[in-house]
Amino acid sequence: MKLNIVTGDWDSLRDHAQSLRVEVFVVEQGVPSELEWDEADEVSTHAVAYDEAGQVIATGRLLPDGHIGRMAVRKSARGQGIGAQVLRALLDEAKRLGYSKLVLHAQTHAVGFYMRYGFELLGEEFMEAGIPHRQMILAV
């Protein structure tokens, strides 16, 4: 699938990233909306993937402290390598900005996905927004 991945600030990508995050995290996964939104959105670099029709199908963000988060792919688009392309865009941005390490909190079912890109497990499983997670780290 041919994608257009755009990186930018929250002001320019908010409407598109926000709608998909509501769909995936709040509606599908039951994350309380008050936990989904935080001040980090305003200072993060966001990546949004659009399909050939211009529909938003994936998103993620890179925080100033080197955390990657809010990775989401529309349910109908999963398993097609779209999340990988968004992750690569965020990794490229992190390299461009000179980060030496990246950290993320992976939902436990997604640990294998991140391991394929060199992330390593750090610490024990923990709950975040009622969902089991593992912290992972990557030296860039």
Architecture of the CATH domain 4-139? 3-Layer(aba) Sandwich (3.40)
- The residue ranges of every structural domain in the chain are 4-139
What is the pTM assigned to this prediction? Answer: 0.94
Please state the φ and ψ torsions of residue 135, each to the nearest 5 degrees: -80, 140
pLDDT tens per residue across span 63-113: 999 999 999 999 999 999 999 999 999 999 999 999 999 999 999 999 999
pLDDT tens per residue across span 48-68: 999 999 999 999 999 999 999
Q: How confident is the model at residue 140, as a pLDDT?
A: 87
Largest Cα separation within the chain, whole Å, is 41
Judge contact between 114 and 35, C-beta under 8 A.
Answer: no
**Distance between CA atoms of 45 and 4, rounded to whole angstroms?**
16
Among the residues of the chain, which ranges form H helices? 10-21, 33-36, 40-43, 82-97, 111-115
Q: How confident is the model at residue 2, as a pLDDT?
A: 82
Does residue 9 sit in helix, strand or coil? coil
